[in-house]
Structure 1
Amino acid sequence: MSGHRRLAAGLAVLLVLLTGCAGRDSGGGRTLTVLAAASLTEAFRDIGAKFSAEHPGVRVRFNFQGSTLLAEQIRQGRSADVYASADTRTMAKVVRAQAAAGQPRTFATNRLTIAVPAGNPAGIASLADLARPGPAVVVCAPQVPCGAATQDVERITGVRLSPVSEESNVKAVLNKVIAGEADAGLVYVTDARAAGEQVRAIDFPASKRAVHSYPAVVLKGADHPELAAEFARFLQGTQAREILGKYGFGTP
């Protein structure tokens, strides 16, 4: 092969390589790790899919647990990119631990409802019915956001509950109602909606006076801080709010 032909062949190979590189998204191969409250499970899965569709090659990996447990893990040094909590009080613990990179921003709101099995065997019709003798009631533990919301409702209404169990997150409460292990449970409106026909939701006026805000923040030591900031901004946008609204979340 002549020198000119070898040069031409080399340039052709280089052009193919450069074209291939240019065709790759700058975010290719990156995984964004998001720690999120259990009540965000369904909505965030949809939001993650939408975010990934707009950032080719980027995968959003979620870990859904109780907000309090996640906050404690972060304070103990757990690595992640974004944290989304079910209330501001739990988020404040992360901020005080100096684990947040910047100020948290609220992206949604939520409130409680009464979830009963589809057939409502205990005949629950109001919050006061949860305090009468007989019904087995399940709530969240006081140290987690849905439990704090329950305490807010008790304080507002004067109704005092005697639950048969206190769970570590709202999904655990909901699952006991679905399984028939409880006659009623106080869960978020969004969780009752996500359960569909498995439960019946009974609204009560005082829940509108105990609304919880959901903040998110980029964490210090994030593997992908710029991408994490993009995700946090995405939560404030129209597409994310439409998805959140579909699942029953309110706007800040």
Structure 2
Amino acid sequence: MQAANLLIEASDLQRFYGNHVAVDNVNLELKAGEVLGLLGPNGAGKSTILQMLSGTLAPHAGTIIINGIDLKERPTEARRHIGYLPETPPLYKDMTIREYLNYCGRLHGLKAKQLKTSVESAIDDCQLGELQKRLIGNLSKGYQQRTGIAQAILHRPPLIILDEPTVGLDPLQLEQIRNLVRELGKSHGIILSTHILQEVDAVCERVQIINKGKTVLNESLDSLRQRDQSLEDFFNKELAAKAETKHA
């Protein structure tokens, strides 16, 4: 993989909380047009990694290059290339969808015609047109997630980071969000964090499994299938190893 094609180059990332090592020398790469599944059990360090990649949490060690820009040296410029949906979407529930997206667009520095065009495009991409005048607080969980994704793609960043975007959704809402991620993956690089195996199989081309803050697998799904190795078996083996270590 050529460095020039990479949207993310993260090397030797470390993050501590007191004496606890949350992320331990993790490397991560993502290229344009790729959907990477960041898979791991709850507490594995996934959200901490995404917070570092998005610039909302500083690593204690390591480097992060976003589309050729050092996140530490030029944070404002690097963040313009990132759309980020945290696990709890940053929604203002007393605003309508359109009001909220206009507000987010102004925060991104979009003005006049560009703002209008970007809001219309995000509403269309996330299929929010019929609900755009509804208060966000009155929307279902699925449509609130769609609104969160709309704010992440509003400024047309090449990189989209989604932290557990389908948690708490019913089966229909879940499939709708997966379809949206598939569509976005055609024109963006996407990191999708999840602890659900089926999520990775449904929308990702490559998986990076994190356990106890470390990378334990980083491979394309096609490569796993060619080796007749089940992602589920590998993941369950890692969980079993974690449980044995905990009770040793």
Measured against the shorter chain, the TM-score band is: under 0.3
Which structure: greater strand fraction? 2
TM-score if structure 2 supplies the norm length? 0.26
Larger of the two Rg values belongs to structure: 1
